[in-house]
Amino acid sequence: MNKMKKKNRISGSIRFLLIILILYLIVFLFSISVAKEAFLNFLIMFVKIIPILGMVFLIMMLTNLFFTTERIKKHLGEESGWKGWIYAMIAGIIISGPPYILFPLLGELRKGGMKNSLMAVFLYNRNVKIQFLPVMVYYFGLNFTLILSLYIIIFSIFNGQIIGWFLRDRLQGRSSSEE
């Protein structure tokens, strides 16, 4: 049963890729230049992220190696308390990287017992990117930047609370195979 499930999951990933390739084929039929430009941009982007993927692979392996289930549960799990929220906020602000890099990493932590609410807090605080703030100040001014950043941090807490409540509520209500 588990093996069957695994097989389906793998074929689902490949199915998704096939759908996108078919989409490219359709675009190609209508406009060769658009499909070509998009594909070339993809190649450039992909080559650029290969070293990052290598680093992610290493970090994921180290996470699997050192972040034991007990440790994750203690600092980011059900028993982490308010400290867990602070850790998730700070980590979200400090750690940068595109979602396709961060989702697999969070996925590993999730398997180890990281709370849904803290994952949400982490992801929301990604929007306060200290290294990009000067650009925001340049375009929109200091007040806008400070106020927006403050609201993001405040709303990350609401975000975590609502998602935590929603998913826990669901787990209590029904047994879930997805979670």
Render the burial of 129-157: b for 16+ CB within 10 Å, e for the rest.
eeeeeeebeeeeeeeebeeebeebbeebb
Tokens of 97: 């990287």
37 is a contact residue toward another protein (CB under 8 A): yes
158 is a contact residue toward another protein (CB under 8 A): yes
Q: Binding another protein by CB under 8 A: which of 34, 55, 90, 130? A: 34
Q: Binding another protein by CB under 8 A: which of 32, 83, 107, 130? A: 107
120 is a contact residue toward another protein (CB under 8 A): yes
Site for another protein in 1-20 (CB under 8 A): 9-10, 13-14, 16-17, 19-20
161 is a contact residue toward another protein (CB under 8 A): no
Q: Binding another protein by CB under 8 A: which of 91, 106, 153, 157? A: 106
Q: How far apart are CA 105 and CA 72, in angstroms?
A: 13
